Amino acid sequence: MIIGIGIMLLTFGLMEVKAWLMHKYVLHGFLWKLHRSHHTPKKSFFEWNDLFFAYYGLLAMLCFIYGSENMDFRFWIGAGISLYGFLYFVVHDLYIHRRLKIFGKADNVYLRALDIAHRVHHKTRGRDGSESFGMLWVHPKFIRLAKKTASQRNVAGGTLLN
Ligand SMILES: [Zn+2]
Ligand SMILES: [Zn+2]
């Protein structure tokens, strides 16, 4: 069980690395066709980019199917992928992009930094020239920016968004 939880946490950490690499080199690379829907103004609730959720969902499901027979490492890898996918959805889709109006602006410096970093990512509408490809790991410069703008966040949020 302890080893299983270790595998799950390791998978979770590796998923952030994988998400960063995928985002930078695949989504802003040869799969830009799908990811472009996430960088252009929305036309409907769903985007082609959502297919990536289905991809990770399928991956986790296969891990659960094959790993739950003997509760082996595959089960815990599936749990790590699911945990990451869930948090990614909450942070990226619900908190940052507000696809469902559940969360307001956070006061927490880390959450503010994630928001700023991802908005900087979205400043570029095209395939090239973007930055901040990760999700839960944030560059320290955005933490500093979030601290600095905590008191005047409306002004800062406004300039970053435009
Ligand atoms: Zn992107
Ligand atoms: Zn986004």
- Residues 62-103 pLDDT 10s: 999 999 999 999 999 999 999 999 999 999 999 999 998 888
Domain count for the chain: 1
Is the pLDDT at 156 greater than 70, yes or no? no
CA of 120 to the centre of ligand 2 (A): 10
CA of 151 to the centre of ligand 2 (A): 25
85: containing domain: 2-161
Under DSSP, the state recorded for 128 is S
pLDDT band, residue 105 (cuts 50/70/90): confident
CA of 119 to the centre of ligand 1 (A): 10
Note the ligand closest to the C-alpha atom of 19.
Answer: 1
Considering the chain, what is the average pLDDT of its residues? Answer: 90
Note the ligand closest to the C-alpha atom of 35.
Answer: 1
How far apart CA 47 and CA 39 sit, in angstroms, is 10
CA of 92 to the centre of ligand 2 (A): 6
pLDDT in tens, 128-137: 988 999 999 9
pLDDT in tens, 114-132: 999 999 999 988 899 889 9
| pLDDT number for residue 30 | 95
CA of 138 to the centre of ligand 2 (A): 14
Percent of the chain with pLDDT over 90: 76
CA of 38 to the centre of ligand 2 (A): 6
- Tokens 């991809």 belong to residue: 55
CB 63 within 8 A of CB 46: no
